[in-house]
Structure 1
């Protein structure tokens, strides 16, 4: 329920001493009510600033505390909503090196629906079933992030230089963040939909 100017007039009137000296129609009471209402509304607005997911005015301070922007995101390239998501993902980092942890990070970075594929832990042997994948032992250190279908795909244009690829895709922010968070003995591979 929103507080109005009339609410503050009635509150101030209730604080006045009884008697004929003051009335609710007094200009001092009516004049103080709008100022108190603005203070109340400002306090309500500042309550959104204590949460990194909703902050707008204090986002620069929040980012400075969290060490953002970092090498994953060039400064000035993100919208407020993207900055809030990245800030939330970094500040509310619960820790862990399991699949649920990385899926939560992907969701916080706006990639809801991403999945993780872990490669087989052991190499193919003579006694392995015929349907088993033939992998070298090094593949046990790799894991794959399967990105959802909502990924930008960029194509070469006439204004690009000759060294540009014909087509490229990927979310460099998500790739950088997950690469920084992955265990040091593992490698993460990103798979994008066709």
Structure 2
């Protein structure tokens, strides 16, 4: 049933519902209710950062985005993913967390942890002291390429190269006592 029909049913019995003026008023009120219902449906979609489109700039403002580490050249899907990541992030100080963090930024990495040298190690093993326990080596490809997709807006370049986003993003979340070393092959 339409809003116009519902409004007509709400009218008390003595009114003549066939009059032009009353019909025009009820139709006008019904259009306002239809518009309000449409906006309510849109708000349900926009209230969820995973499905937002029109309110993405508002979500970015609330979550402190755009991130200076990510710079220009982010697709719409990447921007929305960053909002979701900021809201749902729990953090961590493990190599696995940093591999996942890099993956959310669009990079494939591995993390190497260093072991302190002992007298039981082979002669070829690196001689590392206790301070190396605080260092992790992030291994990635020399140039990471991200391609334009159908979810991107018209201002997104067709391809973006580089690993600057990776370094900036991981350093931001690195443990305060740790050091990240980046190795590219």
Q: CA RMSD in A?
A: 3.5
TM-score normalised by L of structure 2:
0.66
Relative contact order, higher structure (CA 8 A, sep 6+) = 2
Change (3 A) 1:172 1:47: farther
SS at match of 1:32: helix
Distance in 2 between residues matched to 1:81 and 1:22, nearest whole Å = 51
Unaligned 5+ segments in structure 2 are 147-160
Change (3 A) 1:87 1:191: farther
Unaligned 5+ segments in structure 1 are 1-5, 154-168
What is the match of residue 15 of structure 1?
10
2:178 is the alignment partner of 1:181: no
In structure 1, which of residues 39, 44, 58 is the aligned counterpart of residue 41 of structure 2? 44
* 1:120-163 deviation line (CA, Å, top 9, x unaligned): 3322x3313x4984352354333244558x9318xxxxxxxxxx
Runs of 4+ off more than 6 Å: none
SS at match of 1:117: strand
Distance in 2 between residues matched to 1:132 and 1:8, nearest whole Å = 81
SS at match of 1:143: strand
Change (3 A) 1:34 1:170: same
